[in-house]
Amino acid sequence: MFWSGRAAAAIPAPLRDTLGPYTGWLTSQAGGEGGSFGVLVARALALAGRIVATFFPGAQGSEAVSVGVVACAVLIVWRRRLSVQTWTPILTAALLTGMLWLWPYQELRLLMPLVPVLGMVLVAGFRPEVERFTRRILADGPRVDPETFLIGAMGLVWILALVSVSVIVLGGG
């Protein structure tokens, strides 16, 4: 952003749309004609819907709204737990979400960098429960790392859900 702002005059006119400065454009998206309150609310709802659809494949309608509300509440609670250790994933998730909220193009591929960060915040929140669980199971012998166990278990469930929904959608045409 800093380079493109300083080099704007040297960028040839046909390339300014791609290589030109983003600062003015982003601020106009946030506060200008494209950033009215109604547009920002609509973008926030669309972004929330895409995040829920990515994390919970197959959830639709009121089920998706319910799952989204619970996941949001869990993220808020887990944010407190995780902030004791580090703020990096929390601030990264907030920055990426804010950028996606203001960005005018609503494509799923732009959401993908946010998914692992939000997943990490969700997983980190379950750490105390997983530590208690793994201590009970493995009282004698080698201990499984709680984060590894939880990430593996949640990842497996997510992969199975994604595959199941994909097969159902493909089978339906």
51-75 per-position pLDDT tens digit: 888 888 778 888 888 988 888 888 8
Residues with Cβ < 8 Å from 4, sequence gap 6 or more? 11, 19, 20, 21, 22
H or E stretch covering 166: helix 146-171
Whole-number mean pLDDT of the chain?
Answer: 77
Give the pLDDT score at 18: 67
- Which pLDDT score, from 0 to 100, does residue 27 have? 65
CB 73 within 8 A of CB 53: no
Tens of pLDDT, residues 122-170: 777 777 777 777 676 655 556 667 777 777 787 788 778 878 887 887 7
With contact defined as beta carbons under 8 Å apart, do 89 and 61 qualify? no
| Six-digit token string for 71 | 């996941």
Q: What is the pLDDT of residue 143?
A: 63
What percentage of the chain exceeds 70 in pLDDT?
Answer: 77
Closest alpha carbon to 108 in 65, 57, 152, 72: 57
pLDDT-derived band at 35 (thresholds 50, 70, 90) equals: low
CA separation (Å) from 65 to 45, 52, 57, 68, 118? 10, 8, 13, 5, 18
Do the beta carbons of residue 78 and residue 122 sit within 8 Å? yes
What is the value of pTM for the model shown? 0.60
Q: Are 50 and 64 in contact (CB under 8 A)?
A: no
Reading the block at residue 7, the tokens are 């080099």
Q: Tell me, rounded to whole angstroms, the distance of Cα 60 from its chain centroid.
A: 18
Q: No. of H helices and E strands in the chain?
A: 9, 0
